[in-house]
Amino acid sequence: MQMTAAVVTTTKHPGMSDALEREARAWMEDPLSHFGMSNTRIHSVPRKEAEAVQLAALNLRLEQRRTEIPVLAKLADAQGIRSLAALEDAAPLLFDHNVYKSYPVSLLAKQRFDRLTQWLDRLTPHDLSGVDVSACKSIDEWLTLLQDRTPLDVATSSGTSGTISFFPKSKRDYTTSVRGFRAQLVQTFGNAPTQSDLHDKIHVLTPLYRDGHSSMGRFAHYLREIFCLGDDSYLYTAFSHKISSDLMWLAARLRAAAAKGDVTRVDVPETLLARRPELEAMQKNAPAQQSAFIRKVATELKGKRVFALGTTPMFYEVAQHGLADGMRGVFTPDSVVMGGGGAKGLVLPEDCDRTIMEFFGVPRMRMSYGMTELNAFTVTCEQSRYHFLPWVTLFVLDPDTGKPLPRSGVQTGRAAFFDMTHDGTWGGIVTGDKITVIWDTPCPCGRSTVYLQGGIQRFSELQGGDDKITCAATPGAQAEAMDYLLSLDL
Amino acid sequence: MSKRAISYAVIRGKVHDADLVEFGGRGGDLRFFAPDPQKLASQLPLGSPSRMDDLYQLSFDEILDYLEELGKRLDFGKNAYMQEACELSYHTSPATPPIVRGFYTHMPAMFDRTRITQWCEMSVGIPYLEGWVETPINGSIVSIRAYGARALHVIAGNGPVIGALTLIRSAVTRSDTIIKVPSNDPFTTAAIARTMCEFAPDHPITKHLAVAYWRGGDQALEQKLYQPHNIEKIIAWGGLASVRHVTQYIQPGLELISFDPKRSASVVGADALNTDALLRETALRIATDVGACNQTACSSCRVVYVMSGTDPAGLEKISRLGKLVYEGIMGLPCDLSNKPKRYDPQLKSHVEALRLNDDWFEVIGGQDGEGAVIVSRTSDTVDFAEALADRTVNLVPVDTLEEVLGAVDSYTQTVGVFPDTLMPLVRHKMVLHGAQRFVSLGYAFNGPGLVGPQDSIEPLRRMCKWIVTERPTAALKPLWERKEGETALVA
């Protein structure tokens, strides 16, 4: 799918050669096409070259976005930064992930979507000032309206502190993300992409929702476009409904109240109460849908090449049921099963991966690390290491001071990123994740790109609390919220 | 080589420093050594409850004599144990060295004889601690006495005074006491206990105290120790997780007294903003309750509801108040408040996110980890209100007192109120919602100390076992002499 390139109207940057600027603009605008959708070419750019392009792109984006994103302008002005001489200099300009929930929560309770739109407008280059949201009566309505009227496709995520963040992802951002998945997952590294890799209609299985405003809901839409080439019958989701953001917000507040032992009643907006019958109908047959889904997968996708994207605990559950029913080796061996995530406190059994591989019939499990706030997802290589796409700049920050750690040796700290492809927002983000990077030793898999050593931990989790309702915990949280909603006496 | 940091175990008059095992201080600041808890576990409990009897050979005056003497011996200038513990606590305490040193220097004042006497008189009544108090009721003489219990205290480490407070409470109630010290204050209580061993090794109060460190949640040890045949009461301070953890051992015969995690807030009435002089005074009062002990206490103010109103004039007032509060915090004397040791990075990321969002929040200060004032521009508290620490306060403008009540619950300990005329109304309404302590704003740390109820319970009374004796008077006719129809049983 081709999107119109954003118009970048800046003058040539001093000290930047024409060739470098051309390269940077190509990466910024459509890196996948620039690399011919080739996974091998993408992951073969020497690090030095990639970093030179990254620095050029950072400067171009800063110049462009500071005029378009007021919050970035404020931050850059406060830091006195006009341009960047080295990648490290960008660290003070990366947004903390909390920025995307830095609105007073009463605005949601009072359904002040007009003021929330103004707030969001300060975080995106797209102009939202002309969008009339006065008729919106719920988060779902508000986000759907923005989806219809603007280039944005705002992504939500819920924390257990009782808030919900709104990340101004654009449709173009989602497309970049999912094309990145297709390039990295479908092709074998070292081989040029085949016509089939590039153009085949591929079955996708994702044991989640068919739509929604959280990325785990909305991804389904873009997977259908990019993997299934728009063919709805090629997309298999566990639930046929759209995950409700209003229900997620209620779930987040219920969990926040439970976490602090609060016994006071959580107030629910009238508009959400009014949607009870609709939401109830949606939720009601979720467990039935899930078991029907498992049967359907095993029969309809038998012997097919399938791309399964989801979380490991969910795949494990599917695999266990399937094996119990005597099914195994369901997909062709060139299929891909990509897990990840997992809920806190949920210990996966030792035979987890083996069970999944046995049922689906794939030689190994792939994993992915990414987040709503980043277009670029990493996937694991043959050595089970997460490799970053070359158009993403990775920063490892000192967890205490927030200062960037040296880009050499082995460094452990807080992950932060600048993704030059971002269209809906600035693209610089500081995460809550603890990672370790080996800078100087290339990965034996042959990829030249930066990779992580071992897994990812959340700082909040390390300190005893976790502020996220993970993908795996979402259906449970939705069910709890629905139960609560139904228990209220009107 | 510098001396090793040792958290001594002091058990019933004997100091233990053999079989040392290494433990880590919180935040990785300091590793320290403590005697292997597994090897000491069997020595911690008293054994037979009959051994409590020696405490009853003491008069209340003799208990006060002991505490008075102990107070004198804790004189920081002369007590090498305390000096060593203070030096080590600089590395483990969440508070900064000048504040820790202040706590140590002022500790003898906690042992003031008059203060302890008045406190016991008010909280329990000394006659109940000394003997049987008789009251004639319904033809019987009812005698009541407060006995001590065998108690285990899991104390908190946010200020190095909780050990001393526990010790005083235990002595006056004639309790047998095991204190589990926390990893962020593993030295202070043992230093006090070592002082006790030095001046009165065989005194019953010394003999009824055991102080030790073990890792909270050490199942092997706790399962053995937390049993009704060893202890009758557990007094637990601390976070939700640690209190919840202790509850698994609670069973008939073993009671939990819990000082749950608490937070504190303040209310400022519109009248406190009327003149520039009042505004300045209000700011200093807020700054004091926020800054004192670097906001490490449960009574530290974290959110202030200001009845300025949310109209433009009100927002301008609260913004000005915010700037004055910031100046006030920065101007506090350094043994009361100073730049935090380490500004919580999670909190910092929240504060920095709001700084970019001046539509709804104004962030004053905080660039240098020195503390910050966040002024809300709507009547919303920040969504990380529970994580406010390191001298970071949120001022929230409200139009009515009713809006504040929603934010008060059983986690609300201290409420600072200004002006005082607002007190009767605020107090009554907030008590119904769960608040537990009311002070004139600015005096959260400047009062009698923890002498009365704490968190809406009476710790001294709860630490006692309340025993009753009933003796008939001549006027009471025995049941066996009553005819059918005359019997009246009352409950």
Q: Which residue of B has its CA nearest to A163?
A: B383
Say how many CA atoms lie within 13 Å of A177 toward its Cβ. 27
Chain A contact for B446 (CB, 8 A cutoff): no
A-chain residues near B356 (CB < 8 A): 71, 74-75, 95, 99, 102
Mean pLDDT, chain B, as a whole number? 93
Mean pLDDT of A321-332: 88
Residues B380, A262: C-beta atoms closer than 8 Å: no
A-chain residues near B245 (CB < 8 A): none
| Interface-testing mutation among B315, B352, B404, B411, with chain A (most A C-beta atoms within 10 A) | B352
| Band of pLDDT at residue A296, cut at 50, 70 and 90 | confident
Residues B353, A119: C-beta atoms closer than 8 Å: no
Q: Which two tokens stand for residue A336?
A: 């891909």
Beta-bridged to residue A428, according to DSSP, are: A418
pLDDT at A344: 42
Least CB-CB distance to A99: which of B356, B359, B378? B356
Residues B361, A102: C-beta atoms closer than 8 Å: yes
pLDDT at B349: 86
Least CB-CB distance to A74: which of B356, B384, B386? B356
Nearest C-alpha of chain A: how many angstroms from B245? 14
Region of poorest pLDDT, from A53-67, B230-244, B474-488: B230-244
ipTM surpasses cut 0.90: no
Nearest C-alpha of chain B: how many angstroms from A284? 32
Residues B353, A75: C-beta atoms closer than 8 Å: no
Chain A contact for B481 (CB, 8 A cutoff): no
The CATH number corresponding to B9-261 among 3.40.50.150, 3.40.605.10, 3.70.10.10, 3.30.70.330 equals 3.40.605.10
Residues B357, A163: C-beta atoms closer than 8 Å: no
Chain A contact for B432 (CB, 8 A cutoff): no
Least CB-CB distance to A98: which of B350, B379, B380? B350
Residues B380, A105: C-beta atoms closer than 8 Å: yes
pLDDT at B1: 33
Cβ burial, residue B250 (10 Å; 0-12/13-18/19+): middle
Chain A contact for B56 (CB, 8 A cutoff): no
| Band of pLDDT at residue A470, cut at 50, 70 and 90 | low
Q: Report whether pLDDT(B299) > 80.
A: yes
| Interface-testing mutation among A69, A103, A123, with chain B (most B C-beta atoms within 10 A) | A103
Q: Which residue of A has its CA nearest to B347?
A: A98
B-chain residues near A71 (CB < 8 A): 356-357
A-chain residues near B360 (CB < 8 A): 102-104, 119
Q: Which residue of B has its CA nearest to A401?
A: B345
Same fold, B9-261 and B263-440: no
Of A156, A49, A27, A58, residue with least CA distance to A428:
A58
Q: Which tens digit of pLDDT belongs to each residue from B98-114?
A: 999 999 999 999 999 99
Say how many CA atoms lie within 13 Å of A279 toward its Cβ. 24
Tokens 């005819």 correspond to what residue?
Answer: B483
pLDDT at A262: 61
Is the model more confident about A317 or about B277?
Answer: B277
Mean pLDDT of A266-279: 80
Most confident option among A153-167, A274-288, A364-378, B368-382: B368-382
Q: Residue A60, SS3? A: helix
Mean pLDDT of B352-369: 91
Chain A contact for B342 (CB, 8 A cutoff): yes
The domains of chain B are located at 9-261, 263-440
Q: Which two tokens stand for residue A200?
A: 């085949």
Q: Report whether pLDDT(A474) > 70.
A: no
Q: Report whether pLDDT(A9) > 60.
A: no
Q: Which tens digit of pLDDT belongs to each residue from B232-251?
A: 999 998 766 777 788 889 99
Q: Report whether pLDDT(A475) > 70.
A: no
Residues B276, B280, B282, B287: what is their CA dihedral angle, to the nearest 10 degrees?
Answer: 160
Region of poorest pLDDT, from A326-340, B76-90, B134-148: A326-340
Q: Measuring CA to CA, how many Å separate A99 from each of A112, B81, B350?
A: 19, 49, 8
Q: Measuring CA to CA, how many Å separate B119 from each of B56, B213, B449?
A: 20, 29, 10
Contact by Cβ (8 Å): B434, B278: no
Residues B353, A99: C-beta atoms closer than 8 Å: yes
Residues B379, A400: C-beta atoms closer than 8 Å: no
Q: Measuring CA to CA, how many Å separate A466 from each of A83, A96, A158, A256, A259?
A: 36, 17, 11, 11, 10
DSSP string covering A176-194: HHHHHHHHHHHSPTTSPPP
In chain B, residues 236-265 whose CB comes closer than 8 Å to chain A:
240-241
Q: Which residue of A has its CA nearest to B242?
A: A464
B-chain residues near A162 (CB < 8 A): 383
How many other C-beta atoms can be found within 10 angstroms of the C-beta atom of residue B446? 12
Size of interface A-B (CB pairs under 8 A): 75
Mean pLDDT, chain A, as a whole number? 86
Q: Report whether pLDDT(B288) > 90.
A: yes
Residues B356, A95: C-beta atoms closer than 8 Å: yes
Residue A126 to residue A150: CA distance in whole angstroms: 8
Percent of chain B with pLDDT over 70: 98
A-chain residues near B348 (CB < 8 A): 402
Q: Which tens digit of pLDDT belongs to each residue from B144-180?
A: 999 999 999 999 888 899 999 999 999 999 999 999 9
Residues A400, B384: C-beta atoms closer than 8 Å: no
Domain range B263-440, CATH class:
alpha beta
Nearest C-alpha of chain A: how many angstroms from B345? 6
pLDDT at A178: 95
Nearest C-alpha of chain A: how many angstroms from B353? 5
Mean pLDDT of A34-59: 96
Residues B346, A459: C-beta atoms closer than 8 Å: yes
pLDDT at A283: 72
pLDDT at A6: 44
Is the model more confident about B198 or about A252?
Answer: B198
Is the model more confident about B53 or about A295?
Answer: B53
Q: Which two tokens stand for residue B348?
A: 């910092």
Rg of chain A's alpha carbons, rounded to an integer?
Answer: 22
Beta-bridged to residue B236, according to DSSP, are: B154, B258
Q: Which two tokens stand for residue B183?
A: 């990893």
Of A86, A125, A75, A160, residue with least CA distance to A432:
A160
Nearest C-alpha of chain B: how many angstroms from A71? 6
Residue B192 to residue B305: CA distance in whole angstroms: 40
Residues A119, B359: C-beta atoms closer than 8 Å: yes
Q: Which residue of A has its CA nearest to B382?
A: A104
pLDDT at A155: 96
pLDDT at A313: 79
Residues A402, B345: C-beta atoms closer than 8 Å: yes
Is the model more confident about B465 or about A258?
Answer: B465
Residues B357, A99: C-beta atoms closer than 8 Å: yes
Percent of chain A with pLDDT over 70: 89
Chain A contact for B76 (CB, 8 A cutoff): no
pLDDT at A159: 65
Is the model more confident about A93 or about A215?
Answer: A93
Chain A contact for B378 (CB, 8 A cutoff): yes
Least CB-CB distance to B409: which of A119, A262, A459? A262
